[in-house]
Chain A
Amino acid sequence: MDASSGLAPHPPADHDPHHHDAGHDHHELPFWRKYIISTDHKVIGIQYGITGLIFLFFGFSLMMLMRWQLAYPGQALPLIGNWIGHVFGEGSMPDGKMTPEFYNSLGAMHGTIMIFLGIVPIAFAAFGNFVVPLQIGAPDMTFPKINMASYQAFMAGGIVMLISFFVPGGAAKGGWTSYTPLAILSDKGPAYDPFWNGQTLWLVGFILLITSSLLGAVNFIATIIQLRAKGMTWMRLPFFVWAQFVTAFLLLLAFPPLESAVVMQLMDRVAGTSFFLPSGLVVNGAPLHVSGGGSPLLWQHLFWFLGHPEVYVLILPAMGIVAEIIANNTRKPLWGYKSLVFAALVLGFMSFIVWAHHMWLTGMGSVVSAFFQTTTLIISIPSVIILSAFFISLWGGSIRFNVPMLFATAFLPMFGIGGLTGIPLAFNSADLYLHDTYYVIAHFHYIVAPGTIFGVFAGIYFWFPKATGRMMNEFWGKVHFWPSLICMNMIFLPMFLQGMLGMHRRWYDGGQGWTVAGEKVWGMSGFEWNTPISIAAWVMGLAQIPFIINFFWSIKYGKKVNDNPWEATTLEWSAPSPPPHGNFATTPTVYRGPYEYSLPGRETDFTMQTEPMRESDRKAYEAAAAVH
């Protein structure tokens, strides 16, 4: 029944002996069983979603703090500076001025939190949990208790990461990549606790997060393989399910090597081994007393073996969400469904053999570089196929520009910019110059921030009525969208300029003391460009307020809608809103593909997957087949 047999005994048999159909007898469950330790995939999805959004905003706040230091280095942060210094303890912001150590902590934790505690939990775990079982017509995930354990491990990992801000010396400072030997040597010494220090807690938190993602990934794949409703063949799965399926495989296979690396770094820090410490290290003028013989390059290989598939973990679910929303709002079938599916599969496979393109400057040798350069260019092909299919899908559609669709359409050019600016980085000769500059920052943020996060917002606005039975407010959604779109571009476009000037991504003073940052572009020096970027970042922070209010307000007071407010075709819209425990009153049967919009001979412009075939459908399909 469940994978770990003895560890998590049989979910449904014990937890509720009698059958229960569509949603009665659940109000008997006490609050903590219904919302805190629930095994229902929808509740877990929402738990993941809300926790993830909180972490996302927290991670963004860290960056808003850093943006002050970058724009006004060494100046006291007005209004909240002293308070923040008080909260994060001495050594963070004395007199409201940020210390270099605190800046490093913020940088490392911004990356870690945004990726592993923000985006992955929302894009993969939250949407995957909530939507996938509904879209395939399943009553729940295959292993509900393991699903619950996955969330709890995630939560524990998140709490450990948060605690690390408040231990002596503050959170990890080695960058989100925790490159060795720096990361092993930092947060050590008389001022630090041997265990309760930033970097060690970072590693412990990671082990918990990897455990969580493992449990989630196994569950997702098993659910998609085993619990598809009758008639839901592989080629009738919505593209979103395919995207989650590939993502789950990436998490399943790419995370464990990082786990082994994390265990080894933990051994290096706690047990004094030298996995990643080379011989002959001299620290503070004295030779380091370790056995040596380790390899810093090994860490980079293992880290990026996760790190690169992770990029596709971040982007694939967003692509899935965008696919659903584009098909729904153009009112026509998604263009090139099969190519999309195969592109996603190729993308997933290729993402395992491109990792060393993060390591051009390590001197791996030209043969290795040539190999990874080639694979990196190959992987751009499926990405382009996916993006092109989305653009072509827009062609000739009578598009409904509601809030989800605004975010989904904005995703396309934003992801496009992010992807195309990555091509110079794929060539190791061009990367020699651009490596570790703001150009790289701009490139991957275009993919993850206005790319994935816009996809996530689109998904929240789109599936909100399914989760609550109420719509989010349209007007305030637009007030959220437009400033976010403008600010995103005001933040990241100038960073390309800064990067091409040669400004390094980890400068504490924003480039003030560096000659390259003094060069002028469009009337301002590279350093001076920090100011408009920072202002745009803070305005974007403000622009999230309408979303936060809209989100919570609409749960209670949003406009009530029917079960299928978007007139969509996939299975989740045939379940009640919100779906009861067990999702469907009777197991649905599927008769057709996921995007049957504007089918000729039908009275509505959407034909749900549960609609049985009619004679007119057969004729329409035959006519379409004859054209192609």
Chain B
Amino acid sequence: MEIPYTVTARPDTGLWNAKVGIWLFLASEVMLFGGLFSSYVFLRLDAPPGAWPHGLLNVPVGTGNTAILILSSVTVVMAWASLKMRQLTRYKVYMGITILCGIIFLAVKLAYEWPQKFDHFGAFIKQEALEKYEPYLGNHHLAERGLPPRTEISGHLHNHEALHDETVKEYEVALDPVNADPTNPLMDRPHFLPLAHTDKIATIDKADVEYANMFLPKHSTYFATYFTITGLHGMHVLGGVLVFTYLWLPVGTKLYKRNPEHLANRVEVAGLFWHFVDLVWIFVFPLFYLL
């Protein structure tokens, strides 16, 4: 016996099977990302004042990626509509654009944004040594203005061996603008356009450092959540791209020849997943880039 309602809807529920399936799956996905976003809220609320960093991510690039994802959500609907109108060529074009958008998004993330972070260094200064590094931190200035204090000095690390070598006693850092000129009122708020590190070099005594690392997941709670959530989101994007590619290849054409409605249904279901992935990004972007 064939399984009924694989392509046509069951009259009393008005749904075909995969549509029920994908909505259930998405409900579970909401709970998965819900767990992660709740953790983000929980950890951020727990963080001491000034410990949650701002302005470390590249906002224009993030905005561009957001636009690309939104565009792909539109094109996937167009691809589905083309199938409904039985226009296979248009479907191929729109689906092709969708796949391309997914790949661009991933490429920007993996080849540009993430490596840039891995190349950035930050050192958290011990409470008792904050005064010593006042020229780089500008905490008196911040206190006057009622802003939370800075505890971290960041920039480009010159002596990478300092991270592992016990005999090296200090970090040599080409400072970020915020630490190079900490009392400048322009530095009170994060910048929309990213600023390159300056050529002003600071030496930080390891003995004064609470914890120092490259901008890796282990650098801070902020980057831990950032890499975990964007990583998991990236895996979802990759999954979507793979499914779309499968439906775009000749396998899809074969199915179209046999039953065009069936292919349309599959594109619809995969598209629903894609919209969800898009929606998750709509939360990720403000939480990490803007707020």
A residues near B (Cβ < 8 Å) are 1-7, 9-13, 19-21, 138-140, 142-144, 146, 214, 217-219, 221-222, 225-227, 252-261, 263-264, 267, 271-275, 289-295, 298, 301-302, 305, 582-584, 587
A6-B17 in contact (CB<8A): no
B218-A271 in contact (CB<8A): yes
Closest to B240 in A: A6
- Report B3-14 CB contacts with A as 1/0, cut-off 8 Å: 111110010010
Of B20, B213, B219, B243, the most chain A CB neighbours within 10 A belong to: B20
B46-A583 in contact (CB<8A): no
Binds A, one of B63-71, B141-149, B184-192, B220-228: B220-228
B218-A10 in contact (CB<8A): no
Of A19, A20, A218, A582, the most chain B CB neighbours within 10 A belong to: A218
Min CB–CB distance A581 → chain B (angstroms): 8
Known pairs A263-B232, A291-B220; list 12 more (Cβ under 8 Å): A1-B17, A6-B244, A11-B3, A138-B3, A227-B5, A256-B32, A272-B218, A274-B224, A275-B221, A302-B38, A305-B35, A584-B1
Interface of B is mostly: helix
> Size of chain B's interface in residues, with CB distance under 8 A?
62
Interface CB pairs A-B, < 8 A, 23: A1-B6, A3-B21, A3-B269, A5-B266, A140-B1, A142-B3, A252-B24, A253-B31, A258-B35, A260-B33, A264-B228, A271-B224, A271-B227, A272-B216, A274-B224, A289-B211, A290-B211, A291-B124, A291-B218, A291-B220, A293-B220, A298-B42, A584-B1
Contact A292-B211, Cβ < 8 Å, known A5-B243, A260-B36, A271-B216 = yes
A217 to B21, CA, bound (A): 10
A-B contact number at CB 8 A: 197
Which residues of chain B from 93 to 152 have any CB-CB distance to chain A below 8 Å in the complex?
124
A260-B39 in contact (CB<8A): yes
Choose among A3, A12, A291 the residue that contacts B25 (Cβ–Cβ < 8 A): A3
| CB-defined contacts of A226 to chain B, threshold 8 Å | 4-5, 10, 13, 15-17, 20
Closest to B20 in A: A222
B218-A290 in contact (CB<8A): yes
Min CB–CB distance B272 → chain A (angstroms): 10
Contact A583-B34, Cβ < 8 Å, known A142-B21, A267-B217, A292-B211 = no
A291-B213 in contact (CB<8A): yes
Choose among B31, B217, B220 the residue that contacts A271 (Cβ–Cβ < 8 A): B217
Asked if B207 is at the interface of the complex by the 8 Å CB criterion, the answer is no
A21 to B2, CA, bound (A): 9
| CB-defined contacts of A10 to chain B, threshold 8 Å | 6, 255, 262
Asked if B195 is at the interface of the complex by the 8 Å CB criterion, the answer is no
B39-A298 in contact (CB<8A): yes
Asked if B85 is at the interface of the complex by the 8 Å CB criterion, the answer is no
A272 to B17, CA, bound (A): 42
A2-B18 in contact (CB<8A): yes
A27 to B28, CA, bound (A): 38
A301 to B218, CA, bound (A): 22
Asked if B22 is at the interface of the complex by the 8 Å CB criterion, the answer is yes
B residues near A (Cβ < 8 Å) are 1-7, 10, 13, 15-18, 20-22, 24-25, 27-29, 31-36, 38-39, 42-43, 46-47, 51, 124, 211, 213, 216-221, 224-225, 227-228, 232, 242-247, 251, 255, 262, 265-267, 269-270
Closest to B15 in A: A226
A225-B20 in contact (CB<8A): yes
A94 to B147, CA, bound (A): 61
Min CB–CB distance B283 → chain A (angstroms): 14
A198 to B112, CA, bound (A): 36
Choose among A2, A256, A295 the residue that contacts B46 (Cβ–Cβ < 8 A): A295
A217-B243 in contact (CB<8A): no
| CB-defined contacts of B7 to chain A, threshold 8 Å | 1
A259-B2 in contact (CB<8A): no
Choose among A219, A222, A257, A273 the residue that contacts B224 (Cβ–Cβ < 8 A): A273
B211-A1 in contact (CB<8A): no
Choose among B27, B33, B221, B269 the residue that contacts A291 (Cβ–Cβ < 8 A): B221
A253-B246 in contact (CB<8A): no
| CB-defined contacts of B35 to chain A, threshold 8 Å | 256-261, 302, 305
Min CB–CB distance A303 → chain B (angstroms): 11
Contact A252-B28, Cβ < 8 Å, known A1-B17, A290-B218, A293-B43 = yes
| CB-defined contacts of B124 to chain A, threshold 8 Å | 291
Of A1, A252, A273, A292, the most chain B CB neighbours within 10 A belong to: A1
B32-A12 in contact (CB<8A): no
Min CB–CB distance B240 → chain A (angstroms): 9
| CB-defined contacts of B18 to chain A, threshold 8 Å | 1-3, 5, 143
Choose among B6, B13, B22, B211 the residue that contacts A12 (Cβ–Cβ < 8 A): B6
A274-B31 in contact (CB<8A): no
A298 to B36, CA, bound (A): 11
Closest to A305 in B: B35
A231 to B64, CA, bound (A): 53
Choose among B1, B32, B38, B43 the residue that contacts A582 (Cβ–Cβ < 8 A): B1
Min CB–CB distance B270 → chain A (angstroms): 5
| CB-defined contacts of B2 to chain A, threshold 8 Å | 12, 19, 139
A258 to B34, CA, bound (A): 11
| CB-defined contacts of B225 to chain A, threshold 8 Å | 275
Min CB–CB distance B39 → chain A (angstroms): 6
The 6 closest A-B pairs by CB, nearest first: A3-B21, A260-B35, A257-B35, A6-B246, A272-B218, A6-B243
A273-B228 in contact (CB<8A): yes
| CB-defined contacts of B43 to chain A, threshold 8 Å | 275, 293-295, 298
B25-A214 in contact (CB<8A): yes
Closest to B258 in A: A13
